[in-house]
Amino acid sequence: MKKILSFLAIVIITSFMFFISNIYPQVVTGKLIEENNNGLAEVSLELYISPNVYNTNSLSDGSFSFNLVTSIEEEGQLPSGYSITNNFPNPFNPKTRIGITLPTEGKVRIGVYNILGQRVIDEIDRNFSAGTHSLDIELEGLASGVYIAHISIDEKYNLVKKMMLIYASQHLSSTAGTFNNQLHKSNSNSFLLTEIDSLVATSLIIGRKTFTELPGIVGDTLDLGELTIERYCPGLPTVLYEGKTYNTVLIGTQCWLQQNLDVGTMINSTSSGGFQQTNNGILEKYCYENNPANCETYGGLYEWPEAMQYSTTPGVQGICPPGWHIPTLAEFQTLSTSVGGDGNALRAVGQGTGGGAGTNTSGFSALFAGYHYYYGTFSDLGLSTFFWSSTEYDATHAYFLGLGYSNSGILLYDFNKEGGFSVRCLKD
């Protein structure tokens, strides 16, 4: 007999430990992306599971994880006037009773689950009047072991009661007390569910985005999959220009094309120096190392007069689509302010290294396109990128925005207009 009792004690302890490891520690994972499937990094996330709030941040690829998430509370958390008694008897066979006291009328939901989280009897979901009620739970025909009663009151207070069904244990008299409801065996395959109220994503760039109607946590893990935050300009997700489709992205109050401009006819660079793109009625561009495939990936490289279409007016359309223009130095400064002066926020993920590794939290998605030097050579593909502004420094130089390889700075400086830089267009 002692051996049997010792064995049962081991079963009870082991079962409780197994339950705690599979029900209490819960993990919620997922990935934040923008509409073009790029991950959104460094976004602050808040997961609301009443009455708790859990916090984390998205990683460089947009993935995130909330650890040790649970909505189940131990007894002692109920406000004054509420009471849930331990079930009696415990262990039991096959019937046990729980007492419920409410200070006012309230909604009570009860489910009983095995240690795998599977519901084993029909769930009760009804209103109870103020006062004390007794509820009988019968597990006739189920296997001996640990079962969990999950009790929710007014969808605000959650408790669990651990119950042990053992054949030959004490029976509950069928004549004792008043039965308000009886729960019977269920053939349901439902599982213990932790409901999520909402997930809130916040950053300087995207503002605040709330996700609701999310699935509940079944068992110990939940993968929310990819959650999309649309960052294109309102009413204008794409722009079709000269046979090519460009995505848009809203950064602060500015609407940008998300790719470098790639329009015009490629001309080969020569070592003669000086301006090689001329005002001849043909829109001309360089492709890095005279390779058209580089224009497909990085966009064209343009001398300043060609990009401006031979205007010197700040904010001119230049080679941009109608309704768009080449940004001024002041507009580049606004962009820098919008990302807190963090050049990594403008770089695409995978561009740069160390302190200059791109996070692309802005969605600007800058690639290190290199540049064309004014005496005919190409340089810095994969190491840096430069974007012309429409603001002159003097007759021979104009301002640009530059991003380097290994530091997070945003360079706003001037360069000889004969240089071939990238062009990124801004909405009027």
Domain ranges in the chain are 25-70+195-229, 83-193, 238-427
383 class by beta-carbon count within 10 Å (0-12 exposed, 13-18 middle, 19+ buried)? middle
Per CATH, 25-70+195-229 and 83-193 having the same topology is answered yes
Strand partners for 399:
414
CATH architecture assigned to 25-70+195-229: Sandwich (2.60)
**CA neighbor of 426 nearest in space, from 341, 315, 293:** 315
CA neighbours within 13 Å on the CB side: how many for 269? 27
Distance of CA 338 to the CA centre of its chain: 21
Distances (CA, A) of 267 to 42, 276, 417: 41, 9, 17
**CA neighbor of 97 nearest in space, from 130, 147, 138, 131:** 138
Q: What 3-state DSSP class applies to 269? A: coil
Q: What 3-state DSSP class applies to 50? A: coil
Torsion angle of C-alpha atoms 305, 308, 313, 315, degrees rounded to 10: -150
95-102 sheet: strands from edge to edge: 83-84, 95-102, 131-138, 182-183
* Chain position carrying tokens 């006819």: 265
Cis peptide preceding 25, ω within 30 of 0: no
- As a whole number of Å, the end-to-end CA separation of the chain is 87
d(CA 288, CA 31): 35
Tokens, residue 333: 């400064």
Across 114-176, the runs of DSSP E, i.e. the strands, are 124-128, 131-138, 145-153, 157-165
Across 154-243, the runs of DSSP E, i.e. the strands, are 157-165, 182-183, 193-194, 198-203, 207-211, 217-218, 221-229, 238-241
Tokens, residue 258: 């998300």
Strand partners for 135:
98
Per-residue model confidence as pLDDT tens for the chain (428 residues): 444 444 444 444 344 333 333 344 678 999 999 877 888 888 999 999 877 899 999 998 899 999 865 544 444 457 778 888 888 888 888 888 888 888 888 888 888 888 777 788 887 777 888 888 888 888 888 888 888 888 888 877 777 788 888 875 445 544 333 333 444 344 444 455 678 899 999 887 777 889 999 988 876 788 999 999 888 898 999 999 999 999 999 998 999 999 999 999 999 998 777 789 999 999 999 999 999 999 999 999 999 999 999 999 999 999 999 999 999 999 999 999 999 999 999 999 899 999 999 988 888 999 999 999 988 899 999 999 999 999 999 999 999 999 998 899 999 999 999 999 999 999 99
* Chain position carrying tokens 């932790």: 194
Q: Which amino acid is at 415?
A: F
Q: DSSP character for 171?
A: P
- CATH topology for 83-193 is Immunoglobulin-like (2.60.40)
